[in-house]
Amino acid sequence: MQRPLPDQFVPGDKMQKRTIAKGISLRGIGLHTGEEVQIRIMPEPSGRGISFYRVDYPEKVWIPGNLKEVKSTSYATTIGSNGTRISTVEHLMSALYGLGVDSALVEVKGPEIPIMDGSALEFGEAIQEAGLRSIGKERRYLKILKELTVEDGQSSITVRPFEGFRVHYTIEFQHPLINRQELELDIDEESFLRLISPARTFGFLNEVYSLRKAGLAKGGSLENAVVLDHKRVLNPEGLRFSDEFVRHKILDFVGDISLLSLPVKGFFMVKRSGHTLNHRFLKELIAKRDHWEVCG
């Protein structure tokens, strides 16, 4: 039985920075460590963005959720400060960005963000239930002014000026249930919550052993990932969308874009990318100061 999709999310004033209206507590398993993790997402009225705290230390360790703090992009996005890290932040960051949360405090009791059901849906539903409130500060945007392309072999990301946030994503896998999938969406609070947030991470059965040998995917299961063998989906409930795979890649991309710490106005064309190319692209974009401006 497929999980029902959420109702439309109606946020507050989009012209001002917003934080969540009340605190959220969630717990679950870390995808890569297999450890149980607890998180609390709390209002942050100062407007300084998304901040993480590792609270399972004698003293809390503060880690800003921005591009400068990215320490690893191997199979997940990991941020860190002074030797302390939090991994697999992309799904939560995607939900916060996709639903227009500009500022929040995230306390993390563990080494990574819980994988939940492998998507951003539970994070999105929790944010929807908590609601948003304005914090009395102007909301600013990073507006793309010039086209930029970054390539790595057959993978590429291009951005063009656009009065909105649009993503066209293409993936290609040599698997009969995936092959080539592409999807183009204008992403706002409603489209993110209904069309992107439910899409789960996915993997291939023949890769599980090598991942676990490398110390990864220790918490992975059919409860938190779509798993495929050579010809079929092993999850008894099947897929949530026929193109759930490309939708999840958009989810990850939105999570990585969020590390710019500003909403972005631009049209992104992404082909066969992953966390590593996403972050390389963002660094090159920020370095090219004439390609964008910050405006209100």
* Active site positions, annotated: 275
Q: What is the dihedral of CA 113, 13, 191, 19, to 10 degrees?
A: 0
- Tokens 């407007």 -> residue: 47
State both tokens at 252.
């990850």
Question: What kind and span of H or E run contains 266?
Answer: strand 264-271
User: What is the crossing angle of helices 90-98 and 244-257, to 10°?
Assistant: 80
CA gap 122, 92 in Å, rounded:
9
Question: CB–CB of 108/86 below 8 Å?
Answer: yes
Instruction: Report residue 8: phi and psi, to 5°.
Output: -60, 140
State both tokens at 205.
């059965």
Q: How far is CA 292 from CA 137, 142, 151, 154, in A?
A: 22, 7, 19, 26
Q: Closest Cα partner for 112 from 163, 159, 74, 165?
A: 74
Q: Closest Cα partner for 97 from 275, 255, 219, 270?
A: 255
